[in-house]
Structure 1
């Protein structure tokens, strides 16, 4: 089976949100157009507790963009975002949620971040997404959402590591670009791991 994975299309990552990704709202139309083509659609959702260790506000004297050590891993500090139960954590209003069969929350452990939709950053705990796809005999996944250089990249790489043929939809993603070139580097990394990078028109055609 083929599955579409929608990564973190949430209000806080859209223009005006707490961690707005430039042009993040542009991915919504691509997601809505592609969903009818897939027998299975799933979504990931950043779902942080207020005391999450990735929030700069929880590290006195630190600012977003700085790097600290969290759970033994290097961690970029972010503005407080996608806090459980807040509007910022909700999916974009114009995203069609009817086709979404299952939602997988991530980033729930305050001690470790979770960019990937499959595992936390230390790969110590599964979100259940991999097990769900395996149970549905998914052999191929198409990934899009926010942001290219973080959660989309790591979701695609983890899918590939689990033996799932994976395509990243380039125009269905937008990046943070903390450093110029981060998005291009993310696409190169996905290709190097055996993934494909395509545009939505190729899939729709």
Structure 2
């Protein structure tokens, strides 16, 4: 029997997005709160023998590079993962835009590992998570966003972006402590 699996997808916890002196930082108070939650989630997924994957952004569009102050440029400290993030797997993918499905390697990884349910954490509910989660739903994946494991780019967009996600058939799980359905 081919068991359907889940994966924790950790998106964009890179220095330029997570640190106050980052070139295009998200809502710092939300980021500071989510990193310990993401570390806890990662351990839960590993204990339950589920996959944990990480995404880095390396902008592929010149205009976006300009608009973000040349943030997350490959080979820079800003493109590195935040040092507070505990990396628990070698499943690291790169995307050049706001959609994780732009990585053909990631799409292949999902198919090879029979992953059908994506739990999303990281950045940002009002950009990459919103776009990636919507795209996952269109591709017929189950999607859950862990509320205490995500942040918005703009602090004031957090609750509104969670409402938008919920309206698109995306489950918003309140806490890392509420993962009873993890399979």
Q: TM-score range by the shorter chain?
A: 0.7 to 0.9
Q: CA RMSD in A?
A: 2.1
Q: Tell me how many residue pairs correspond in the alignment.
A: 169
Higher RCO (C-alpha under 8 Å, 6+ residues apart): 2
Alpha-carbon distance in structure 2 between the residues aligned to 1:162 and 1:146: 21
| Structure 2: runs of 5 or more not aligned | none
Conserved in 2, the CA contact under 8 Å of 1:104 and 1:127? no
Question: Does 2:126 align with 1:186?
Answer: no
Alpha-carbon distance in structure 1 between the residues aligned to 2:23 and 2:95: 18
Per the normalisation by structure 1, the TM-score is 0.75
* Residue number among 90, 102, 106 corresponding to 2:95 in the alignment: 106
Alpha-carbon distance in structure 2 between the residues aligned to 1:137 and 1:88: 33
Question: Does 2:168 align with 1:164?
Answer: no
- Structure with more of its chain in helix, by fraction: 2
Looking at CA atoms only, which structure, 1 or 2, has the larger radius of gyration?
Answer: 1
* Residue number among 101, 112, 115 corresponding to 1:118 in the alignment: 101
Report deviation, 1:130.
2.1
| Structure 1: runs of 5 or more not aligned | 57-76, 108-113, 120-125
Alpha-carbon distance in structure 2 between the residues aligned to 1:89 and 1:33: 23
In structure 2, the residue corresponding to 1:148 is in which secondary structure? coil
